[in-house]
Amino acid sequence: QSVLTQPPSVSGAPGQRVTISCTGSSSNIGAGYDVHWYQQLPGTAPKLLIYGNSNRPSGVPDRFSGSKSATSASLAISGLQAEDEADYYCQSYDSSLSGSVFGGGTKLTVL
Amino acid sequence: QVQLQESGPGLVKPSQTLSLTCTVTGGSISSGGYYWSWIRQYPGKGLEWIGYIHYSGSTYYNPSLKSRVTISVDTSKNQLSLKLTSVTAADTAVYYCARGVGHVDATYNYWGQGTLVTVSS
């Protein structure tokens, strides 16, 4: 059971916009800690996609955006492309764990 | 460009100790104030933070694993290591080493490719 809750799957047609939610609690996202997002393509390691709630590392397309409010965060992907099909994970810090926590992951299917 | 590479046995017997090494190239493990981390991914895909070590030597472990885990660095070899004792089938996972930036708001911007460890007799 993951500390952060994500939907198991989302889907969308090419060109559409999808969002993936990440719900936490008062000891992690609700306490004000940043949320980060990772993309994991099949057979590869996770790759940092969004850091500090809404910042993109160099090389990440601006089709990817992140936001945070209260005890939850969201990743939005606009202009869906076939290459976006992957697993997406949110991550934050938890004060009761004194360490990092992850969401259970969301599988994005591009129809 | 920083690169990380995990190595170690792919099969460990129950009750034995899992030992992995992560070799870091393209940067010194003892500089930059990073948090050198171990993260594992279960076959069902969930990610779990195991712990990390700061270049100063301070270690932070997941409370659920703390009694069984040791993370250390060998600066002469630019390597990070993980030891997990008394393993069971529940420890079967892909183990990643990663470079963390920050403690409270750690982000993992470099990852190894991962190594699958199966616990079975």
A35 within 8 A of A22, measured Cβ to Cβ: yes
Quick check: B106 and A45 CB within 8 A? no
Quick check: A93 and B63 CB within 8 A? no
pLDDT of A1: 81
Q: Classify the C-alpha dihedral B92-A45-A13-A73 as positive or negative.
A: positive
Tens digit of pLDDT for each residue in B38-54? 999 999 788 999 999 99
Tens digit of pLDDT for each residue in A57-75? 999 999 999 999 989 999 9
Partner residue opposite B107 with nearest CB, options A2, A44, A51: A51
pLDDT of B45: 84
pLDDT of B44: 79
Tens digit of pLDDT for each residue in A1-51? 889 999 999 999 999 999 999 999 999 999 999 999 999 999 999 999 999
- Smallest CA–CA distance, residue B69 to chain A, in Å, is 14
Quick check: B108 and A91 CB within 8 A? yes
Quick check: B108 and A46 CB within 8 A? yes
Say yes or no to pLDDT of B67 above 90: yes
Q: Per-residue confidence at A77, pLDDT binned at 50, 70, 90?
A: very high
Say yes or no to pLDDT of B36 above 90: yes
Q: Considering only CA atoms, which of B103, B110, B105 is closest in space to residue B6?
A: B110
Q: Considering only CA atoms, which of B65, B57, B49 is closest in space to residue B106?
A: B49
A52 within 8 A of B105, measured Cβ to Cβ: yes
pLDDT of B103: 81
Tens digit of pLDDT for each residue in B78-101? 999 999 999 999 999 999 999 999
Q: Classify the C-alpha dihedral B40-A36-A56-A11 as positive or negative.
A: positive
pLDDT of B31: 80
Say yes or no to pLDDT of B25 above 80: yes
Report how many Cβ contacts below 8 Å link chain A to chain B.
61
- Smallest CA–CA distance, residue A6 to chain B, in Å, is 11
Q: Per-residue confidence at B57, pLDDT binned at 50, 70, 90?
A: confident
